[in-house]
Amino acid sequence: MKFHQTPLQGAVLIESKKIGDARGYFARTFCAETFAAEGLETVFPQHNASASAWAGTIRGLHFQHPPHGEIKVIRATRGAIYDVIVDIRPRSATFGQWAGFELSEENGHMLYVPEGFAHGFQTLRPDTAVVYPVSRPYTPEAEGGLRFDDPVLAIDWPLPVTEVSDKDRSWANFDPEGAGPA
């Protein structure tokens, strides 16, 4: 695995090395020893999966309020996504900034999302599947989110939006003066 720092403090793009032969390929997607050597979380007691039927589907932008913040490692296992993270840590040098990354079945890239980030993605192809281990079990009362179409963030989604849940449409806009969601 190769680890690349992103423009957002603490977020890491991870390249997995595919070893191929006539059968297909093998790739390591996690190694506690390697993650620890990079200073990354190694304990993920919950693993999540999502599937989306349509290209252009948006999921997010989600986060968990402290002290229930989560670290996630996002990977597309089928299809492709445009994965977006927003730094909502008021004391961070990259507070209020967002970045997007293409994660696909073909490129095998993963995104390490630290605590204190809102996270979401848009599917780039139909029939896309995503998996992600999480560092803490989900806590419903700590759930938070930001609008995917927030004018302050001005996220440049690559496709027209085709599907968004009512819940994700109802999140507040980001309020940088209030140090987080409005």
Supply the residues annotated as catalytic.
62, 132
Per DSSP (E only), the strands in the chain are 2-5, 12-15, 18-21, 24-27, 46-52, 58-64, 72-78, 80-87, 98-104, 110-113, 117-123, 128-134, 143-145, 174-175, 180-181
- Please tell me the distance from the alpha carbon of residue 54 to that of residue 117, in angstroms, as a whole number: 26
- Please tell me the distance from the alpha carbon of residue 57 to that of residue 154, in angstroms, as a whole number: 17
The owner of tokens 């996630």 is 72
- Please tell me the distance from the alpha carbon of residue 27 to that of residue 43, in angstroms, as a whole number: 20
Token pair for residue 128? 């896309």
Question: Residue 93 — φ and ψ, nearest 5°?
Answer: -65, -20
